[in-house]
Amino acid sequence: MKSYTVIELLNSETLLQEVTVKGWVRTFRANRFIALNDGSTINNIQCVVDFENTNEDILKRIGTGAAVSITGELIESQGKGQKVEIQVKEVTILGDADPEEVSKTILQQKRHTLEKLREQAHLRTRTNTFSAVMRLRSSLSFAIHKYFNDNGFYYMHAPIITGSDAEGAGEMFRVTTLDPKNPPLDEEGNVDYSKDFFGKETNLTVSGQLEAETYAMSLGKVYTFGPTFRAENSNTSRHLAEFWMIEPEVAFMDLAGNMDLAEDFMKSVLSYVLEHNADDLAFLEERLIKEDKTKPQAERSEMTLTEKLRFVIDNNFKRVSYTEAIDILRNSKPNKKKKFKYLINEWGADLQSEHERFLVEKHFKCPVILFDYPANIKAFYMRLNEDEKTVRAMDILFPGIGEIVGGSQREERLDVLKEKMAALDIPEEELWWYLELRKYGTAVHSGFGLGFERLVMFATGMSNIRDVIPYPRTPLNAEF
């Protein structure tokens, strides 16, 4: 007999049919009512056991956390809260869960803090909060691929191991087979990487952008969506050492087109989860509302989770130059009254999250795209403006989270790119292929980058990036 998922049964219009469903017991009440969940939905299906005609040994083994297979008749529910339930004919125990052991874990029926759930990350997706987060993560991933596929982009896989530092920051994890205690040395006493596996110094990638540019300059529109690694010592709730990056790259597109693409993309993927993950979003929203009530008034969110998503989807993104934004911030009340942790005193300052959120939530009251940043605070590959002080870079700012997307028009002029690399001591031989792109039909091209986990944070309302990752053990900067 076919085994159905819980979500299939809850959405079924056909009653009085015999069905089989497999899942984990959430609760077992009065020796009769099993709340069963299989991860396909945040909702449980109620299974009603005829305990008088069920083996007592089986009944004793139906406890929280146990894996069971249930066969019975799908009928209209007699109670409130669910449309259908299963009148159980047979229960098979697939995997026991010792009640004493369960009582020591987060599977026990009580409310746990997120900190407690992180201590047992291998079990936390059995909870409503984390199962909802992971289903939303999956839907967002699908929506990303769907958007690019529907809009004529080609998916490419950028290398994970690379010899180039795309950002020019040097914060990379080294990949080597050399003996760390006794590496081979050259005549000058430096590590001789010619003896290494790849014959040169290599690292884990921080971005697939540079490789994506090579494909964009032949295929037109491409994107990468893969793992990246930053050895940045940022011990905050929003930084990971390993994360996934979404990076589209488009030939013949300038900065204005890049802004259009990013805005349309963000609205599309968030609209997708609003439509397809309503139950999970409703649960997470209710959780956040309850959590907010425990906070001081000043720390409470002004918008619910759904309102934040609609705030992005329903509003046009305001486009503001960096220079204009600095003037606004410099003259703002929080800055003048020294309520910002980082005061804005001069042009060229790197904006912090508090500044970005002020622009979005207080000043413009809509998503904001900042553009034309000072060249000295942005990467070498960004297109230099005619004033030679600013570059055609952009950041998109959202409520509650600040900067979420970063992008730019790329520098297509070979001579200018060489000058910028020389100024930053970036060896031409390491990026010879990147420079050669500018020799054969150079053209305007642009793209942006979006950390996937930050997008999941925004869509789920979670405040700590540790709570949107699927790994039981994670290479995090932030402390657990």
Question: For residue range 14-39, what is the model confidence (pLDDT) as tens digits?
Answer: 888 999 999 999 999 999 999 999 99
Residue 74 has pLDDT above 80, yes or no: yes
* Residues 252 and 217 sit within 8 Å (Cβ to Cβ): no
CB 118 within 8 A of CB 103: no
Structure-derived torsion over alpha carbons of residues 119, 123, 129, 134, reported in degrees to the nearest 10: 110
Q: What angle do CA 245, 448, 223 make, to 5 degrees?
A: 60
- Residue 371: pLDDT band by 50, 70, 90 thresholds? very high
Dist. CA 120–CA 69, nearest whole Å: 26
pLDDT of residue 165: 75
Arithmetic mean of pLDDT over the chain: 93
β-bridge mates for residue 69, sequence order: 22, 92
Split at pLDDT 50, 70, 90, the class of 167 is low
Q: What is the pLDDT of residue 228?
A: 92
- Please list the residues that pair with 73 across neighbouring strands: 18, 87
Residue 78: predicted pLDDT: 82
Residues 231-254 have pLDDT tens digits of: 877 667 777 888 999 999 999 999
Which pLDDT band, with edges at 50, 70 and 90, does 453 fall under? very high
Q: What is the pLDDT of residues 149-159, one digit of tens each?
A: 999 999 999 99
Mean pLDDT of 308-323: 97
Tell me the average pLDDT across 357-364. 96
For the cut 90, the answer to whether the pLDDT of residue 255 exceeds it is yes
pLDDT at 298: 77
pLDDT in tens, 399-444: 999 999 999 999 999 999 999 999 988 889 888 999 999 999 999 9
pLDDT value for 56: 93
Instruction: Work out the pLDDT band at 478, boundaries 50, 70, 90.
Output: very low
Query: Does residue 353 have a pLDDT over 50?
Result: yes
Report percent pLDDT > 70 for the chain: 96
pLDDT surpasses 80 at 186: yes
% residues pLDDT > 90 (the chain): 81
Q: What is the mean pLDDT of residues 206-216?
A: 94
pLDDT of residue 479: 43
Q: Which of 70-79, 163-172, 246-255, 460-469 is modeled with the greatest confidence?
A: 246-255
Least confident of 124-133, 160-169, 196-205: 160-169
